[in-house]
Amino acid sequence: MVKVGVLALQGAVREHIRSVEECGAEGIAIKKEEQLKEVDGLILPGGESTAMRRLIDKYDFMDALKEFAAEGKPMFGTCAGLILLAKNLVGHEPHIGVMDITVERNSFGRQVDSFEADLAIKDVADNFPAVFIRAPHIVEAGAEVEILSKHNDRIVAAREGQFLGCSFHPELTDKHDLTAYFIEMVKEAKAKQFV
């Protein structure tokens, strides 16, 4: 069984762990950087990216997160987590900065803070009920990035090798297909380590 960590400094942690377990993997809340050694993949949850960044610095997580990425282990950023993964942010310095995308925060307008949309996500689902909460979107994606979904012409889900990111909150619905897709990425990456 693969072990998937959920960065548990702030944000929607418990729902991600439930979703991971529904998919038959072990979900572990990561509160200390040493725990990253125990897991095969990591989910960066939604919440507030600036608050999360403050806690990453306060609890000395940044080097361990970058090392985790450098080891080729899969990382899945959802909403604020997508912002943490991006190499470029509009109007802001990047955070972990590992996925070749440019992300803009709060990009669906103030008047519609949150909404739900049925999305077609390539290789995942034809009708995925996506919950957007003050969501970011991907403005630009590098050549190696595969675009998995768009909403209103904006990129809202993408993959670049070991990195998966989405603008919405997949853990807030009972459909676990996107989490299951990530767990397959984790299994494949783990299997490669033993070849």
Known catalytic residues? 79, 169, 171
Q: At residue 84, what are phi and psi to the nearest 5 degrees?
A: -65, -35
- Closer residue to ligand GLN (CB): 2 or 13: 13
Q: Binding of ligand GLN at residue 79 (CB under 6 A)?
A: yes
Residues 6+ apart with CB under 8 A from 137: 103, 104, 107, 108, 154, 155, 156, 167
Residue in 134, 150, 154, 190 binding ligand GLN, rule: CB under 6 A: 134
- Choose the stretch contacting ligand GLN; rule: CB under 6 A; options: 17-25, 47-55, 68-76, 139-147: 47-55
> Residue 35 is encoded by which pair of tokens?
């725990």
Q: Binding of ligand GLN at residue 127 (CB under 6 A)?
A: no
Among all chains, which residue has been given the structure tokens 């909150």?
169
Residue 192: in which H helix or E strand, if any?
A: helix 177-193
Q: Across-strand partners of 165?
A: 77, 158
Q: Binding of ligand GLN at residue 133 (CB under 6 A)?
A: yes
- Closer residue to ligand GLN (CB): 44 or 189: 44
Q: Binding of ligand GLN at residue 170 (CB under 6 A)?
A: no
48 to 67: interface string for ligand GLN, x by CB under 6 A:
xx------------------
Q: Smallest distance from the beta carbon of 69 to ligand GLN, in angstroms?
A: 19
Q: Binding of ligand GLN at residue 157 (CB under 6 A)?
A: no
Which ranges of 59-159 does DSSP label H, i.e. alpha helix? 62-70, 80-85
Q: Binding of ligand GLN at residue 165 (CB under 6 A)?
A: no
Q: At residue 59, what are phi and psi to the nearest 5 degrees?
A: -100, 20
